[in-house]
Amino acid sequence: MDRLPPRVALAPRPRGVLGWAVAAQRNVLELIPEAALREPIISGRAGLRWHMVMDPGALRRVLKDRVEDYPKSVVTKLLLEPAIGNSMFIAEGAQWRWQRLAAAPAFAARHVEALAPVMTAAAEASAARIAQAPQPFDAHAEMVAATFDIISDVTFSGGESIDRDVVYRAFNGYIASVAQVSLLDVLGLPRWVPRPGRIFSGRVLRETRALADHAIAERARRGARLPPDLLDLLRAGVDPETGRSMNPSELRDNLLTFLVAGHETTALTLSWALYLCAFDPAVQACAAAEAQAAGPRITAAELPRLSYVQQVVQESLRLYPPAAFFSRTARSADTLCGRRIEPGDTVILPIYALHRHRLLWDNPDAFDPDRFAPGVQRDRFAFLPFGGGPRICIGASFALQEAAIILATLLARFDFALVPGRDPYPRMILTLRPEGGVWLRATPR
Ligand code: HEM
pLDDT tens digits for 163-216?
Answer: 656 666 666 666 666 555 544 455 454 454 444 444 445 666 777 788 888 888
- H or E element, residue 124: helix 116-132
pLDDT of residue 84: 77
Contact 384, 59 (CB under 8 A): yes
Distance of CA 260 from the midpoint of ligand 1 (Å):
10
- Taking CA atoms only, the protein residue closest to ligand 1 atom 43 is 393
Q: Collapsing DSSP states into helix, strand and coil, what is residue 420?
A: coil
Ligand 1 site, residue 269, Cβ cutoff 6 A: yes
The half-sphere exposure of 327 on its side-chain side, counting CA atoms within 13 A, is 21
Q: Collapsing DSSP states into helix, strand and coil, what is residue 398?
A: helix
The atom of ligand 1 lying closest to the CA of 400 is 1
Separation of alpha carbons 161 and 213, rounded Å: 10
pLDDT of residue 200: 42
The atom of ligand 1 lying closest to the CA of 90 is 40
User: In order of start, what are the domains of the chain with their CATH numbers?
Assistant: 17-438 (1.10.630.10)
Distance of CA 43 to the CA centre of its chain: 26
Separation of alpha carbons 325 and 284, rounded Å: 28
393 is in an annotated binding site: yes
Ligand 1 site, residue 395, Cβ cutoff 6 A: yes
- Ligand 1 probe mutation, 393, 400, 401, 405, most atoms within 8 A of CB: 393
Query: Left if phi > 0, otherwise alpha if psi is -120 to 50, otherwise beta: which for 189?
Result: beta
Closest Cα to residue 98, out of 252, 246, 229?
A: 246
- Rounded to 10 degrees, what is the CA torsion of 401, 405, 407, 413? 170
Ligand 1 site, residue 272, Cβ cutoff 6 A: no
Q: Which parts of the chain register pLDDT below 50?
A: 160-161, 182-184, 187, 189-190, 192-200
Instruction: Kindly report the length of the chain.
Output: 445
Contact 329, 71 (CB under 8 A): yes
Separation of alpha carbons 383 and 56, rounded Å: 9
Distance of CA 109 from the midpoint of ligand 1 (Å):
16
Contact 234, 254 (CB under 8 A): yes
Ligand 1 site, residue 391, Cβ cutoff 6 A: yes
pLDDT tens digits for 34-43?
Answer: 999 999 999 9
Separation of alpha carbons 168 and 187, rounded Å: 31
Closest Cα to residue 28, out of 389, 393, 435, 339?
A: 435
Distance of CA 5 to the CA centre of its chain: 20
Separation of alpha carbons 349 and 357, rounded Å: 13
Separation of alpha carbons 39 and 150, rounded Å: 40
Separation of alpha carbons 125 and 411, rounded Å: 14
Separation of alpha carbons 431 and 434, rounded Å: 10
Q: Collapsing DSSP states into helix, strand and coil, what is residue 239?
A: coil
Separation of alpha carbons 94 and 86, rounded Å: 12
pLDDT of residue 184: 47
Distance of CA 443 from the midpoint of ligand 1 (Å):
34
Contact 403, 306 (CB under 8 A): no
Separation of alpha carbons 147 and 265, rounded Å: 9
- Taking CA atoms only, the protein residue closest to ligand 1 atom 11 is 393
Distance of CA 285 from the midpoint of ligand 1 (Å):
31
Closest Cα to residue 328, out of 389, 395, 380, 267?
A: 389
Ligand 1 site, residue 385, Cβ cutoff 6 A: yes
Distance of CA 132 from the midpoint of ligand 1 (Å):
33
Distance of CA 6 to the CA centre of its chain: 19
- Taking CA atoms only, the protein residue closest to ligand 1 atom 13 is 387
Which residues are catalytic, by number?
265, 386, 393
Q: Could you give phi then psi for residue 54, rounded to 5 degrees? A: -120, 5
Please state the ipTM of this predicted complex. 0.99
